[in-house]
Chain A
Amino acid sequence: AQSVAQPEDQVNVAEGNPLTVKCTYSVSGNPYLFWYVQYPNRGLQFLLKYITGDNLVKGSYGFEAEFNKSQTSFHLKKPSALVSDSALYFCAVRIKDRGSTLGRLYFGRGTQLTVWP
């Protein structure tokens, strides 16, 4: 079964410190991986994605993520957290199978990031 896991419901970090939000996945083919952010009572905003190529991908607002195939992980990182980064973060995976038209996204349960001043 295809799935994505975010092992931490909550991550707390001080402003200026580096942050990591974890994501692991389980798929039968080669994955496309995405990170989204959601502010209260709003829709999701796309942050970044891994499709192929360089394992380190850079996205919006200074975020980056590293694809690790051996550990089936795609952790979101930022070198220096801001209070405004406080939000709910979702990891998602899409399957990339040859000849398949199945392109749906599977979302994790989300990780609430809180950055305190």
Chain B
Amino acid sequence: DGGITQSPKYLFRKEGQNVTLSCEQNLNHDAMYWYRQDPGQGLRLIYYSQIVNDFQKGDIAEGYSVSREKKESFPLTVTSAQKNPTAFYLCASSIAWTGEREQYFGPGTRLTVT
């Protein structure tokens, strides 16, 4: 997990509340990603960012928002519009968007909404 921190590890929220998940990396990577993991479904891409001040929707962006104001930070907000927000959220980064570079993952945040 080295180099990427996610906080908090566990997060509990009431339905209807927005919540922001933190992701910070000190690897000097340009690209950052947010994934959602549900049992038996693998990882699904929510948003990604190739460079600072730029980000793109992934496969399941509805109900989520992000910002990339600093190279090392890529926070994810889960809004009340997300119909089923309870999941394990993983942040990742890579040196570059293209090419053969692998992604490095943070330890994840488990969000429970009741």
Q: Which residues of A contact B (CB under 8 A)?
A: 9, 32, 34, 36, 41-46, 49, 51, 90, 94, 96, 100-105, 107-110
The B99-114 residues at the A interface (CB cut-off 8 A) are 99-100, 102-108, 110
| Chain B residue with Cβ nearest A9 | B40
Question: Which residues of A sit under 8 angstroms from B107, Cβ to Cβ?
Answer: 42-43
Question: Which residues of A sit under 8 angstroms from B96, Cβ to Cβ?
Answer: 103
Bound-state CA distance A83–B60 (Å) is: 36
Question: Which residues of A sit under 8 angstroms from B105, Cβ to Cβ?
Answer: 36, 43-45
| Chain B residue with Cβ nearest A4 | B42
Q: Judge if B55 is at the interface, Cβ distance under 8 Å.
A: no
Q: Are A41 and B43 in contact (CB under 8 A)?
A: no
Question: Which residues of A sit under 8 angstroms from B90, Cβ to Cβ?
Answer: 43-44
Bound-state CA distance A75–B53 (Å) is: 38
Query: Would you list 26 pairs from A and B whose C-beta atoms are within 8 A, ordered by A residue?
Result: A9-B40, A41-B110, A42-B1, A43-B1, A43-B4, A43-B90, A43-B105, A44-B90, A44-B105, A45-B1, A46-B102, A46-B104, A51-B100, A90-B42, A94-B100, A101-B97, A101-B98, A103-B99, A104-B45, A104-B48, A105-B45, A107-B44, A108-B42, A109-B41, A109-B42, A110-B42
Q: Are A107 and B97 in contact (CB under 8 A)?
A: no
| Chain B residue with Cβ nearest A52 | B100
Q: Are B106 and A107 in contact (CB under 8 A)?
A: no
Question: Which residues of B sit under 8 angstroms from A32, Cβ to Cβ?
Answer: 100
Question: Which residues of A sit under 8 angstroms from B45, Cβ to Cβ?
Answer: 104-105
| Chain B residue with Cβ nearest A47 | B102
Known A101-B97, A101-B98; judge A107-B43 contact (CB<8 A).
yes
Q: Which of A41, A51, A101 gathers the greatest number of chain B CB atoms within 10 Å?
A: A41
Q: Which of A49, A100, A103 gathers the greatest number of chain B CB atoms within 10 Å?
A: A103
